[in-house]
Amino acid sequence: MADRRWLIAVVLFALAMHGLAIGRTVLPAQDGLKVIAVAREFGHRPWEDVVRGTDLHPLYPALIAALHPFVAAAAGPGPTSWRLTAQLVSALASVLLIFPVHRIARILFDRRIALLAAALVVLYPHMAELGHETLADSVGLLGIFSALWFGICAWLKPSTRLGALSGVVAGLGYLARPEAILVPPALALAWLMGMLQGPRYLSRKRFPGLVAIALAFGAVLCAYAAIKGEISEKLALRLGASLGKSAATPPHAIRSVPPGLDDPRLDFSPKEESDTIRITGAGQAAAMILREWWEESCWFFAVMAGWGWARRDFIRGLCPELDPDASRATSRILLVFSAIYFLALLRHSTVLGYLSGRHTMALLIAAAPWAAAGSFVCARGVAVKCRLLPARALWLGVAASALLIMLSVITQVRPKHRGHWSREAHLEAGRWLAQHAADQELVLDTRGWARFISGKLGYDYWHVRQALTDAHLRYIVVERDELEAPSPRARTLRRLLDRTARVIAEFPDQTRQTAAVRVYRFERPGSWEVLRR
* Pair 25, 415: CB distance under 8 Å: yes
Work out the burial of residue 150: count CB atoms within 10 Å of its CB; fewer than 13 is exposed, 13-18 middle, 19 or more buried.
buried
Name, in order, each residue with C-beta under 8 angstroms of 371's C-beta and a sequence gap of 6 or more: 117, 120, 297, 301, 302, 304, 305, 308
What gap in Å lies between CA 463 and CA 448, rounded to an integer? 12
Return phi, psi of residue 59, to 5°: -65, -50
Q: What is the DSSP string of 91-136?
A: HHHHHHTHHHHHHHHHHHS-HHHHHHHHHHHHH-HHHHHHHTSSSS
pTM here?
0.87
What gap in Å lies between CA 33 and CA 39, rounded to an integer? 10
* Pair 375, 116: CB distance under 8 Å: yes
CA distances from 495 to 31, 266, 512, 528, 531 (A): 27, 9, 26, 12, 7
- Domain regions of the chain by residue span: 2-232+276-413, 420-532
What gap in Å lies between CA 52 and CA 46, rounded to an integer? 10
Query: What letter represents residue 491's amino acid?
Result: R
Q: What pLDDT, on a 0 to 100 scale, did the predictor assign at position 397?
A: 64
* Pair 245, 460: CB distance under 8 Å: yes
- Can you give the pLDDT of all 533 residues of the chain as single tens digits? 667 888 999 999 899 888 888 887 778 888 888 899 899 999 888 888 898 888 889 999 999 999 999 999 988 888 889 999 999 999 999 999 999 999 999 999 989 899 999 998 888 888 878 877 888 999 999 999 999 999 999 988 888 999 999 999 999 999 999 999 999 999 999 988 877 776 666 667 888 889 999 999 999 999 999 888 777 655 333 333 333 334 334 434 444 567 777 778 888 887 766 545 567 778 888 888 999 999 888 888 899 899 999 988 898 888 888 888 899 999 999 999 999 999 999 988 888 777 888 889 999 999 999 999 988 888 877 777 777 666 666 666 666 666 666 666 666 555 544 445 557 888 899 999 999 999 899 999 998 889 999 988 899 888 888 898 888 999 999 988 888 888 888 999 998 999 899 999 999 876 555 568 999 999 988 888 877 76
